[in-house]
Structure 1
Amino acid sequence: GWLSYRPDYLQRFNSPRWLLALLCFYAVIVNIELLGFRGVVVPQIEKRFNMTSTFIGSIMSTVDISSGICGVLLTYYVGQRHKSKWIGYGIICLSFGSVIFALPHFIAGPYYYLNIATNNTQTTSTLCSSNAMNVSNNLCTSATHQSSPWIYPVIFIGGLVFCGIGYSIQYNVGLAYIDENVSPKISPVYIALFHMVAVIGPTLGYVVGGVFSNVYVDWPATPKDLKQDDPRWIGAWWLGYLIVGAIAFVTSLLIFAFPYHLPTYQKSKEKRLALSKTSKKVDNQYGKRWADFPRAFYDVISNRIFLLAVLGLSLDQIPTIGLLTFLPKFIQSQSGASLLTATTLAGVTAVVSAAIGQVSSGIIVKRWNLVGSKISRFCFYAAIANVISACVLLMSCSNPTIAGIYTPYPPSNITMRSQATTQSVQPTAACNIKCHCDNSLFSPVCGANGITYQSPCHAGCNALLATGSPATMNYTGCSCINSKTEKVAIRGFCSGESCTIVYPLMVGIVVMVIITFISFSPTLTIILRSIPESQTTFAMGVEGLIFRIVGGLLGPVVYGYVMDVSCILWNEECDTRQFCWRYDNSKLSLYMFTATIICKGIKLIIYGLLWYFHKQQEVA
């Protein structure tokens, strides 16, 4: 109940099952925003605010840094206090962060998808013109370019700091609140269910964010000559954050109704003390004084079993968070699918595979009564399978045939072939050398010869003509299209052969994620059982610190760098790289595999040490 209002009809909800249901709901809301929306909004924010993948990856990692640092301090303080109220404070904090994160959209003003000169009425033509001005150079000296864009990253970081604090309290305190109110034999099942339901969040975030990506960024305004399949299109990335923030704020009232301890607390505590190996240790009941913080931190971090389990879990988060952030872009590059399709595929892949892994782990642990070093052994074998499954990332689709990017321009009298390597490709040719094309402009057109060109200018087109009913905009007079066909082109990519490798690639990613998550809940069980009863909340905060700093910080940065070094066509302004238009698929797959296999290889070694020392501890 709330304050003095505690009617009898509410007491039926005062149970671990209803607590789990509410915490699962919060976990879904949090993961929709922090994991699901992340993969959808990253490519849109890159274009909207001219950021590289490494830079936006660094910004997105702020949520994990704040979650880790603030989490360890707050969980130390909250460990001996009213946990349900603090979970409510965390949800409110998350809602404020959501609103702050969406603010740059309202500050930046309307989105102009054409190159703007010194005012909004003068635009760069995408057509070939021998008298074309170098507007990109004019922009370098314009007042628009000289204005500082630093305010947008600062606002993003501020919003993510609040979101990180709220997430840390909801996750760390929530898990400890569940664990202390249920039987130790049932606790792994509750934890597995918590994480299983939580993975619905990224999927809903991917799908809902994908739907919002089909809504124009300046909604309710609509563009007249820009469609969703145009690379310059940006969706309403900000809308989901406002909706989720409002839902979180309204529903935060529910968790305040739960008491300090549930009625099942005392019996659960007695069972934990009987089973726990650490019950022989002195429980100092830290958390009542800040002066005890350094000693409490040392006691937790010096626990070898705890530290190895946390490191193994954290290392696995580097590829997990990295792929969650950039998997839609990876799928989009490999398959040529739209952002909505790519985010839906990524979301379905994440939820199905992660849910199967979580449920399987809970069933296995309970069915075979795995405890102590038996859980460590299980995690070690799972790590071996995880290393093998990562090899699926070596699969890649061939690059699309785009003149001047992946393949050279064809001679004027033959159709282009795609055998040439990207190293020999030049962005311009004799047919468009006098057009003064902006080589960072990407507005693809399909020529009548079946070849895709970077832009109408790069195809040598000098006029735009509306034909047919309904009217279709055709580019005419295209000098780079050979003389055996009409010298015309239409907007968009030419249809080519579909990549059949995408399907086994997605199946392989599903298997890899299942094996990744099958050891997640068992490892958390090891962590919770390796520390004294009163320190579970604080230990989860310490786990969160290492978990977020190692996995959350390095994941987006490392995989953002992987995306950047695989880029083959940058959007540049004043010799400064802003965001990537196109990637080299073979390099992208190779670098993704390299980053993933290194992390999972080190994880395998750590789980081997965990199994060894865990077994040694039991023998002693």
Structure 2
Amino acid sequence: MTEEEKTNGFVDAKDSNMTIRPQRLQEDASETPTVSNPEDIKCGFGSCKPNFLQNFNNPKALLFFLCAFCTVQGFVVNGVNNVNTTSLERRFGLPSSRVGMISSFYDISAAILGLIVSYLGSGKHKARWVAMACLSMACGSFFMALPHFTTGLYQWGQNIGEACRDHAATEVQCAQTDDTSHLQNYLYVFLFGQILHGVGGTTLYIVGVALIDDSVPASSSPMYCGILYAFATLGPALGYIVGGQMLDIYVDYFEVDGIALTPEDPRWVGAWWIGFVVAFVLFLAVSVPLFAYGSELPTAAHVRANRVSQTHNDSLNEKKEELTSHKLRDLPKSFILLMKNPAFLFITLAGTAEGFGTSGVSTFLPKLIQNQFGATAAWASILAGIIAVPGAAGGQFVGGLICKRMNLKVQGMIRLNIIVCFVAMVLDAVVWVRCDLEDIAGVTVHYSDPVSLPNVTSSCNSMCSCTTEYYEPVCSEHNIQYFSPCHAGCQSKVGSGYANCSCVEAFGVSGNMNTSNTVKTGKCSTTCNMLYFFLPVLLVAIFFRFVEAPPSLSITLRCIHDNQRTFALGIQWFVVRLLGTVPGPIFYGAVIDSTCLVWQEKCGDEQTSCWIYDNVALSRNFFLILICFKVFAGIMFLLAYKFYKPPLEKMASATYVVNSNNTNTVDSEDVAVATVNKSFEQSLGDLEMNGFSHERTSEL
């Protein structure tokens, strides 16, 4: 027998005195690698399958199109949607908790449908499932943009005087604006659009990831998944940047010329809808090449033949028929088998905690920057995107690269996650960094008459019938900011400001007697450079938070039986979303609402969105949420490391069993090995006949 034959682990039919165990034992001796019909795995549309399309029938080309899909998906769902949080609150009169529902409904749809999609999508034709998912995403983006084209022009109070007025003027204002309450009903259109986005997203990240894992060796799978998830993170970054630029354009720019508002005005609403229209077109374009792929890639059969099991040891003894069935009636049985796998269970719970914290922060990160540092909505969105590119994308890429370069197995990847989890926990303290809120009369400082704060009404403006429906900040020369000219007690408009302001006079009596009773429009200028410290630390915190993603995904794919991988991803997505990313944005939105100091109130004291927040309470609440769920995730990683049992070493290594009399030693395992050798040789011969090279690949 030649040295090459020994290395590859084949049994020479003429060598009857030696039994050779293969270096890479298949999970089941009875399972022989199969090669699909060559016509079924070709690229093309129907019977049209030209040769030039076969140049794209490989894992790298497939990864390119999946990365394009992931980029557009992240662009619209986690980028544009998050950028538009404040704009949707202003345009449709929604509080943060209800806007958080828009993000959560994506995960509700993904959680519920993920189970069915993952179970039914476990077979072949995965590329076709992904292409249909792309069309679903296109429909979702269409419905998200639809409310802009079915509503009237945005009313920001342009026909209403903000100076001191009597009750009769207030009643006229109510009559003019009362018909805007129906806008809140458009929330349900946004929710339906997010449901369609969820259908497409869950199919992409369950069936699409399984398609990649089916087509490349296990040693390359973390790297491919790392690249895929890096582009998935690049999408939100582009959404933040491009969507942020769109917010500098007035929402009705094509119908209204020359408005008095500027992006710095808190009443400003940008062109939030453009990003959804762009995503609709891109999804249609990406779906075309995905429909061209066949039942599987040509490399899939070769990958199946060479895959080594790293399944949790307790699962190795399960009956084969319990793991290979993909009928709906067997779904509960497969679910129970997964729940018996402690590594899978604890990794899923860790992902749930991470999802809860990450989903809330990603949804409201532009809003956090805008309120804590006084940035405009557009600039806050751009900054969030600039941080997301090197942070999240780089973290996911490095996570996959570490797994590949260090040749980490399941235990090594869990150790990596434990380390980066506790490092990220320390860095989450960055949310304490903030700028102090301006001196706002009745909010952070008292009027001349001391009353409990916040209370923007005082004796100096009590006769003006002021409301908080429209926020038009004005600033006096002693740097006191007022909610509006009406709240400053101003009687008339002069140039770019207001004059005869009774509340400014009251401050002058208690302070400087020479202070004028005029105010200028806009917020008072402040000097705060904490943003330049906040951003780089936040970048590092995001980096370490996302390093965990590729190892966690690879652990999930490696610690379970091959035939349950797609279904396991569906279960994991269901749990992570149901307990993590679904309640996350809603919970964060409610926490943000709880720190509100001044609400926008419509006629009849109807509260809609918030104008001014308590910065200190906002930082404290964000920190407590992040730290609690990060500690929980760290504990889950530790439990996964403790209870994971790798396969027995003898089942993954090559040993040569030769007795002292040079006779063959046969036991039950040798019988299985001989069967694998025979079927393996036959299958490799079939592979070579179909143009595949016989090449061993290293395993994690």
Q: 1:541 aligns with which of 570, 573, 596?
A: 570
Equivalent residue letter for 2:261: L
Q: Is the 8 A contact 2:142 2:193 kept in 1?
A: yes
How far residue 275 of structure 1 moved from its aligned partner, in angstroms, is 5.4
Distance in 2 separating the partners of 1:81 and 1:271: 19
Cα distance in 2 for residues equivalent to 1:403 and 1:157: 38
Contact 1:124 / 1:135 at 8 angstroms: preserved in 2?
no
1:559 aligns with 2:597: no
| Aligned pair partner of 1:352 in 390, 402, 409 | 390
CA 1:462–1:283 in 2, change beyond 3 Å: closer, same or farther? farther
SS in 2 for 1:300: helix
Structure 1 residues 287 and 92, CA, compared in 2 at 3 Å: closer, same or farther?
farther
Show the counterpart of 2:622: 592
- Structure 1 residues 81-140: Cα deviation after superposition (integer angstroms, max 9, x where no partner): 31001100000011001111222222232111118xxxxxxx542101346543399559
Tell me how far apart the structure 1 counterparts of residues 377 and 355 of structure 2 sit (CA, whole Å). Answer: 24
User: Whole-Å Cα distance in 1 between the matches of residues 369 and 182 of structure 2?
Assistant: 33
Q: Per-residue displacement from partner, 1:520-567 (whole Å, max 9, x unpaired)?
A: 110111100122222222221111111221222121012111211111
Which residue of the partner structure matches residue 139 of structure 2?
96
- Pairwise CA distance, 1:458: 1.3
* Alpha-carbon distance, 1:214 to partner: 1.4
CA distance in 2, matches of 1:616, 1:299: 17
CA deviation vs aligned residue, 1:184-204 (integer Å, no higher than 9, x gap):
001111111111121111111
Amino acid at match of 1:520: A
**Larger CA deviation: 525-534 vs 223-232:** 223-232
Please give the residue correspondences for 1:200-599 in structure 2 after superposition, counting only pairs within 5 Å.
200-222=234-256, 224-273=259-308, 281-284=318-321, 286=324, 288-409=326-447, 424-466=453-495, 473-481=496-504, 482=508, 484-498=514-528, 500-573=529-602, 574-599=604-629
Checking the alignment, whether the CA contact within 8 Å between 2:80 and 2:243 is kept in structure 1 is yes
3-state secondary structure, aligned to 2:597: strand
Contact (CA 8 Å) 2:444, 2:453: kept in 1 or not? Answer: no
Q: Which amino acid aligns with 1:408?
A: H
Q: Quick check: 1:283–1:532 contact (8 Å CA) kept in 2?
A: no
Provide the rounded CA distance (Å) in 2 between the counterparts of 1:353 and 1:143: 45
Q: Distance in 2 between matches of 1:287 and 1:105?
A: 47
Contact 1:380 1:611 in 2 (8 A): no
Deviation of the 1:361 alpha carbon: 1.3
Contact 2:124 2:296 in 1 (8 A): no
Gaps of 5+ in 1: 116-122, 412-419, 467-472
Instruction: Give 2:117's aligned residue.
Output: 74
Match of 1:128 in 2: 164
SS of the residue aligned with 2:455? coil
1: distance between equivalents of 2:452 and 2:224? 54
Give the match for residue 71 of structure 2: 28
SS at match of 1:407: coil
Instruction: Give, as a single letter, the amino acid of the residue that structure 2 aligns with 1:444.
Output: P
Whole-angstrom CA distance in 1 between matches of 2:573 and 2:241: 28
1:91·1:249 contact (CA, 8 Å) conserved in 2? yes
Sequence identity of aligned pairs in percent?
32
Residue 33 of structure 2 corresponds to which residue in structure 1?
none
1:58 maps to what in 2? Answer: 101
Change (3 A) 1:364 1:221: same
Q: Which residue of 2 aligns with 1:14?
A: 57
For residues 193 and 131 of structure 1, the distance between their equivalents in structure 2, rounded to whole angstroms, comes to 62
Tell me, what secondary structure is at the counterpart of 2:582?
Answer: helix
Distance change in 2, residues 1:265/1:452 (3 Å): same
**Contact conserved, 2:110 with 2:573, CA < 8 A, in 1?**
yes
Are the counterparts in 1 of residues 128 and 291 from structure 2 also a CA contact under 8 Å?
A: yes
CA distance in 1, matches of 2:350, 2:326: 31
Q: Secondary structure at the match of 2:163?
A: coil
Once residues 487 and 241 of structure 2 are traced to their aligned partners in structure 1, the CA distance between those partners, rounded to angstroms, is: 35
Q: CA distance change for structure 1 residues 618 and 65 in 2, over 3 Å: closer, same or farther?
A: farther
Structure 2 CA distance for partners of 1:177 and 1:423, relative to 1, 3 Å: farther
Q: Are the structure 2 counterparts of residues 136 and 30 from structure 1 closer, same or farther at C-alpha, using a change threshold of 3 Å?
A: farther
Contact 1:354 1:514 (C-alpha < 8 Å) held by counterparts: yes
- State which drifts further: 80-89 or 508-517: 508-517
The answer on 1:192 being equivalent to 2:226 is yes
Amino acid at match of 1:305: A
Note if contact 1:77-1:287 (Cα within 8 Å) is conserved in structure 2: no
Query: For 1:595 and 1:136, how far apart are their aligned partners in 2?
Result: 44
Partner AA of 1:494 in structure 2? C
CA contact (8 A) 2:310 2:559 kept: no
Contact 1:283 1:534 in 2 (8 A): no
Partner Cα distance (2:647, 2:352) in 1: 23
Q: CA deviation at 1:578?
A: 0.7
Instruction: For residue 495 of structure 1, report the CA deviation from its aligned partner.
Output: 1.1
Residue 85 (structure 2) pairs with residue 42 (structure 1): yes
Match of 2:607, SS?
strand
Superposition RMSD in Å: 2.4
Mapped contact 2:310–2:646 kept (Cα < 8 A) = no
Partner of 1:118: none
State the match for 1:152 in structure 2. Answer: 186
Which whole-Å CA distance do the structure 2 matches of 1:571 and 1:538 have between them? 46
- Contact (CA 8 Å) 1:80, 1:287: kept in 2 or not? no
Q: 2:637 aligns with which of 591, 607, 613?
A: 607
1:120 aligned residue: none
- The equivalent of 1:414 in structure 2 is none
Write the distance in 1 (CA, Å) between the matches of 2:213 and 2:564. 12
Give the CA deviation at 1:320.
0.8
- Name the CA distance, whole Å, in 1 between partners of 2:581 and 2:104: 6
* 8 Å contact from structure 2 (residues 424, 544) kept in 1: yes
Change (3 A) 1:270 1:368: same
Using the TM superposition, give the Cα deviation of residue 17 of structure 1 relative to its aligned residue in structure 2, in angstroms: 0.7
In structure 2, give the amino acid aligned to 1:465.
Answer: V
The count of corresponding residues between Structure 1 and Structure 2 is: 595
Q: Retained in 1: the 8 A contact 2:68–2:286?
A: no
Distance in 1, matches of 2:171 and 2:148, equals 26
Give the distance between the partners of 1:424 and 1:208, measured in 2 at CA.
Answer: 39
Q: 1:280 Cα deviation (Å)? A: 6.0
Preserved CA contact (<8 Å) 1:474 1:490:
yes
Per the TM alignment, residue 250 of structure 1 is displaced from its structure 2 partner at its CA by 2.5
Q: Secondary structure at the match of 2:514?
A: coil
More moved, 592-601 vs 352-361: 352-361
The answer (yes or no) to whether the contact 1:358–1:520 under 8 Å persists in 2 is yes
The 1:501–1:423 alpha-carbon spacing in structure 2 relative to 1, beyond 3 Å, is: farther
Tell whether the 8 Å contact from 1:213 to 1:339 is kept in structure 2 after alignment. yes
Higher gyration radius (CA): 2
Which whole-Å CA distance do the structure 1 matches of 2:611 and 2:564 have between them?
A: 49
* Larger CA deviation: 184-193 vs 123-132: 123-132
SS at match of 2:502: coil
Counterpart of 2:162, as a letter, is T
User: For residues 274 and 298 of structure 1, do their structure 2 counterparts lie closer, same or farther at Cα, with a shift above 3 Å needed?
Assistant: closer
Partner SS for 1:403: coil
TM-score by length of 2: 0.81
CA positional deviation for 1:276 = 5.1
The unaligned stretches of length 5 or more in structure 2 are 1-43, 651-700
The 8 Å contact of residues 318 and 555 in structure 1, kept in 2 or not, is answered as yes
Distance verdict in 2 for CA 1:150–1:49, change over 3 Å: closer
Deviates more, 1:267-276 or 1:595-604: 267-276
Q: Tell me the amino acid that sits aligned with residue 384 of structure 1.
A: F
